[in-house]
Amino acid sequence: SDPCLLCPSQSTMRAIATLLHNNSRSIPSILSRGRVMKASIHIEKKLEELGYVLPPPPKSQANYVQCNQIGNIVYVAGQLPMPPDGKLVTGVVGKDMNLEEAQNAAQIVGLNFISTLKNYLGDLDRVKKVIKVNGFVASTGDFYEQHLVINGFSNLMGEVFGPKGRHARSAVAHHCLPLNVPVEIEGIVEIEE
């Protein structure tokens, strides 16, 4: 076999890197001096392609901040189901809405979560990993599918961020939540510095 193919020169590697870099939108990674580097995902473009519209970043409803950062970890405050039209989704799951409607509300919470991160980070491509989320579901005493409600949020994170969106989580029932919302979700995210 040709040793040139097994051990390409630095100039060959640079030429390959340039070629791949110029086509990086369709290639998930590029080679640079023999190392694999991640290409930018362009999360906002992906959101657009998926047909999602981010609501305006939510304002805190009491005395707290939307995000707190320690090192490269961002703690995102509990987000509510506020669609782009500004009309808060309200009700108790099992009484005022069914499972599917509650999952849609959890997805809206996810869009607010992403909007909050975009407002805080400036660039959603800085999200390295959605680490952990805590989901709270206002539900009746005979509703036992809180975990499926929170899938509305979790599925969105996976759809938008790919493997970086897969997270650990909790799904907890409550008899009521602030402002009579059916779902509230907070999370912990690792970011690129």
The answer to whether 139 touches 94, Cβ cutoff 8 Å, is yes
Residue 177 DSSP code: -
Task: Label residue 171 by pLDDT band (50, 70, 90).
Answer: very high
How wide is the angle at C-alpha 128 spanned by C-alphas 153 and 130, nearest 5°? 25
Q: What is the pTM of this model?
A: 0.79
Report the share of the chain in percent with pLDDT over 90: 77
- pLDDT, one tens digit per residue, over 138-152 is 999 999 999 999 999
The answer to whether 108 touches 151, Cβ cutoff 8 Å, is no
- pLDDT, one tens digit per residue, over 8-50 is 555 555 555 555 454 443 333 333 333 333 444 599 999 999 9
**Tokens describing residue 69:** 């950062």
pLDDT at 39: 45
- Classify residue 171 by burial, with Cβ atoms within 10 Å: 0-12, 13-18, 19+: buried
Taking the C-alpha atoms of residue 52 and residue 58, their distance in angstroms, rounded to an integer, is 17
Task: Label residue 4 by pLDDT band (50, 70, 90).
Answer: very low
Average pLDDT of the chain to the nearest whole number: 86
Task: Label residue 193 by pLDDT band (50, 70, 90).
Answer: confident
Q: Name which of 123, 121, 187, 120 is nearest 156 in CA terms.
A: 187
